[in-house]
Amino acid sequence: MKKFLSAAEQAAESEDLMEFFNSAVDTLQTIVVGLGGALCVWGGINLLEGYGQDNPGSKSQANAATGKDKGIGGISRAKI
């Protein structure tokens, strides 16, 4: 059997429900912002972590430019 509520009781119940939803939305917003910040930091670290180390071609060019790519007897192996 359904209970009929007065207008004041309905307003109080509606306020309680809206307060709950507002609290839930604030909590979820905090969690999403925190996760977004963490992903941003993680992505930045990943970009800086291995910068230039996964391309052997760039390494050989850098060594040739600095003169560190020397063969036996100090003869350069770099292609000119």
Q: Which amino acid is at 77?
A: R
How many separate domains does the chain show? 1
The reply to whether the predicted model has a pTM over 0.75 is: no
72 DSSP assignment = G
Alpha-carbon distance of 40 to 13, in angstroms, equals: 41
Classify residue 18: in a domain, yes or no: yes
Classify residue 17: in a domain, yes or no: yes
The whole-number pLDDT of residue 69 equals 55
Would the pLDDT of 71 be above 70?
no
Structural domain range at position 26 = 11-37
Tell me the pLDDT tens digit for each residue of 51-61. 666 666 555 55
- Backbone φ, ψ for residue 70 (5° rounding): -105, 140
Classify residue 26: in a domain, yes or no: yes
Mean pLDDT of 12-24: 87
The whole-number pLDDT of residue 26 equals 96
Classify residue 3: in a domain, yes or no: no
Mean pLDDT of 41-46: 92
Classify residue 23: in a domain, yes or no: yes
Which of 53, 76, 56 shows the shortest CA–CA distance to 66?
76
